[in-house]
Structure 1
Amino acid sequence: MELIRKYHIVIAWMIATSAMLISLFFSEWMKLPPCDLCWYQRMAMYPLVLIMGIGMYRKDPHVSTYAFPFACIGLILSVYQITIQVFPVSEMKICSVGVSCTEDYLNLFGFISIPMLSFVGFLAIIVFLYIKPESK
């Protein structure tokens, strides 16, 4: 646990960087077009890579404070997208143009979808941002 406390921002940054690279892999190499909600989740995830990266470089003790709102917004968006995939009746007008937000391109084991991966990523980032290093 001491190692996690010491490197909690590094771990959160690695999760955000991995999520960014995976989303680019899905859209650029697998040619899966992102829906509007996917774009909004990307808008929440991509800045986390920069915010936490700069915070680590500058050893900013308040980087969690800066990154937390982005992670919460992304988590809320992913929960909403999971909800409209399970209950397509609740889809908003924002998803009516272009790729449908209810489209399920990836479905592993019957429940792991791209929004579920996003949810897990944002939730893990929030957990690691919440961990505070031990005072010396």
Structure 2
Amino acid sequence: MAAVYRQKRFNRRVNALVTLVCFALVAVAVALEHWAGMEPCPLCWFQRMAFVALGVVAAIGVIAPGWVVAGLGVLAAVSGVALAWRHLWLQSLPPSEVPACGPGLDYMLETFPLADAVAMILSGSGECAEVDRVLGVSIPAWTLLAFLILGTLMVLGNWRARGSARS
């Protein structure tokens, strides 16, 4: 019984940590936008949404850790990894191959059907190829690392939750 209690407490603490880190990273992104003048591109916005989704799933895991929470957390983290990877790829293109800058995110969402706007955002544009660095590392590289770590924590913090409840 004590082992089950310790395991559930561990699961909840890991989920609480992931929740706090996700929302702290979004707060840092907003701070960089407002105080450092780093304007987010559409892919940056989607990466923020992936952090929010992961944070919400982890918050649910504080209340009810388990394999469903782990799966949803991994889904959010893998989505974030894919977005960050795409962003890094756009940043690695030679200037001659960078796509032209597109319309702003607000304009795309107001003007085009949602599926078309999302497709345009995911294809990337010139503003996504601009490289802003924090501590010498590009922001998409930081987000890629964060999604990998947080996704791993979601698995570790929820993997044994179901099995420990039956013990």
* Alignment TM class, shorter chain as reference: 0.7 to 0.9
Q: 1:105 to 1:59 in 2, by over 3 A?
A: same
The structure whose residues are more often helix, as a share, is 2
Q: Aligned-pair RMSD on alpha carbons? A: 2.6
* Corresponding residue number in structure 2 for 1:73: 79
| Identical pairs, percent | 24
Q: Is the 8 A contact 1:11 1:128 kept in 2?
A: no
User: TM-score, normalized by length of structure 2?
Assistant: 0.65
1:21 and 2:23 equivalent?
no
Whole-angstrom CA distance in 2 between matches of 1:51 and 1:129:
9
Residue type of the alignment partner of 1:67: G
Count of aligned pairs between the two proteins: 130
Task: Tell whether the 8 Å contact from 1:41 to 1:78 is kept in structure 2 after alignment.
Answer: yes
1:36 Cα deviation (Å)? Answer: 1.0
Q: Quote the Cα distance in structure 2 between the aligned partners of 1:50 and 1:78.
A: 20
2:133 paired with 1:106:
yes
Letter matched to residue 47 of structure 1: A
Unpaired runs of 5+ residues, structure 1, are none
> 1:14: Cα distance to partner?
2.7
How far the C-alpha of 1:90 sits from its partner, in A, is 5.8
Query: What is aligned with 1:52?
Result: 58
Report how far residue 127 of structure 1 moved. 0.9
